[in-house]
Amino acid sequence: MKLKLNHKPFNKNNEFTRKSFFRVNLRGHFFSFIILSTIFLSSCMDEPDLQPNNNKGNFEALWKIIDTKYCYLDYKNINWDSIHTVYNTQVNSTLSNYQMFDLMGKMLAELKDGHVNLYSDFNKSRYWKWFTDYPDNFNSTIIFSERYLTENYYIAGGIRYCKIKNDSIGYMYYGDFSNTFTDTNIKYIFEYFKDCKGLIIDVRNNGGGYINLSEKLASYFFEKETLTGYMQHKTGDGHSDFSKAIELKTPTHKTLKWTKPVIVLSNRMSYSATNSFISRMKLAPKAKIVGDKSGGGGGMPFSSEIPNGWMVRFSASPMYDADIQHIEWGIEPDIKSAMTHEDELKGIDTIIERAIEEIENEKN
């Protein structure tokens, strides 16, 4: 049975409520995957030193989990000891639960990571600047207008699709890697687009989801199994204690293959599992990435519990592209394109139009 790893940041539609100690962030399953070796489980998931259930103890427990298990402290040049000094001085026994939660949420925000969240029964901390500090480069009203999806688009699994540009180009919008699809869904989509010059896959504003679905979707566009990335695991409590990089390959689907040009559209809200999909598609033979730099989120998320029962989710295993370069901060497109205000006023999506241009100019 292939398990589904949910790999996305916290948002309004993705609430984490599972309470467990160092569980992988899953929907309904423990993570059983070859990359989680026995060495990783025994060395990384040991319970940290117990702390008392008071403000000081909860603070120290949270700080220690990040200090020993978070995977990007050195990569991001974060002095976690100094951050301890800054926030520890603000901890005292008179702080309410709300005040302690806010304080620890601010400390976690220093990691600048959309995969890092603190969860209680009354709040969830979140870091959103990875996309709020950037242009949207997406307008859903335009996407669902008569120029693109129209009111009569088809739906297959979690994918919305139709023909655009006088039925000459296929367009798929996939907004959430938590919404599944099947081979049969893809078979019908490819059959519907068989006379089109090329295909546009729009994953803008897709915040992630099941990472195995990102691999599956990419597999339809590869002619052969291809090395598309790497992953490491923490092997000790040191900030740079990692295993040897493990190869991550994108398979080719046995029967379903798209051999015409394919353009993947990205923006800053293309995050986590979507970021992984974009990283894979950079190496698909007929593919190009058009739009803005993706949002990143290259760390595999895990979770742990502090003494009062609050949960913390954090990036535990760094992922890389095929050149062993971090994908935590996002992936540059092959062709940079941004929405223009003038086009938006006309109901035109600048990035889709740039993708159409690329397909029409493609030499078969």
* Cα 230 from chain centre: 15
CA proximity to 203, closest of 334, 80, 352: 352
The mean of the pLDDT values for the chain is 89
For residue 228 the two structure tokens come to 């598309």
Predicted pLDDT at 363:
73
- Which of 360, 11, 331 has its CA nearest to residue 175? 11
Q: Where are the domains of the chain?
A: 6-127, 140-232+244-299+317-361
173 three-state secondary structure: strand
Residue 48's pLDDT band (boundaries 50, 70, 90)?
low
Higher pLDDT, 26 or 141: 141
Structure confidence at residue 9 (pLDDT): 60
CB 217 within 8 A of CB 228: no
Contact 303, 312 (CB under 8 A): yes
* Whole-angstrom distance, CA of residue 58 vs CA of residue 269: 32
Q: What is the mean pLDDT of residues 61-84?
A: 98
pTM of the model: 0.88
**305-352 residue pLDDT tens:** 999 999 999 999 999 999 999 999 999 999 999 999 999 999 999 999
Looking at the DSSP bridge assignments, the partners of residue 335 are 290
Residue 344 corresponds to which amino acid? E
Each residue's pLDDT tens digit, 27-42:
333 333 333 333 344 3
What CATH number is given for 140-232+244-299+317-361 in this structure? 3.90.226.10
Distance between CA atoms of residues 130 and 275, nearest Å:
13
Q: Do domains 6-127 and 140-232+244-299+317-361 have the same CATH topology?
A: no
pLDDT number for residue 286: 96
Which among 15, 28, 35, 29 is positioned nearest to 316, based on CA atoms? 35
Please report, to the nearest 10 degrees, the dihedral formed by the alpha carbons of residues 270, 272, 277, 280 taken in order.
120
Instruction: Give the C-alpha separation, 31 to 46, whole Å.
Output: 17
Q: How far apart are CA 118 and CA 99, in angstroms?
A: 13
Secondary structure letter of residue 24 according to DSSP:
B
Query: Residue 180's closest CA among 145, 214, 226?
Result: 214
Percent of the chain with pLDDT over 90: 85
Please state, in angstroms and rounded to a whole number, the distance separating the CA atoms of residues 172 and 160: 6
Nearest Cα neighbor of 245 from 76, 71, 35, 5 is 35
Which fold, 6-127? Transcription Regulator spoIIAA (3.30.750)
Joined together, the tokens standing for residue 240 give: 């740079």
The rounded distance, in Å, linking the Cα atoms of 21 and 312 is 10
Could you read off the pLDDT of 112-165 as tens digits, one per residue?
999 999 999 999 999 999 999 999 999 999 999 999 999 999 999 999 999 999
Return d(Cα 265, Cα 278) in angstroms, integer: 9
Run of H or E including 202: strand 198-202
Q: Residue 9 burial (CB < 10 Å; 0-12/13-18/19+)? A: buried
DSSP 8-state class, residue 194: T
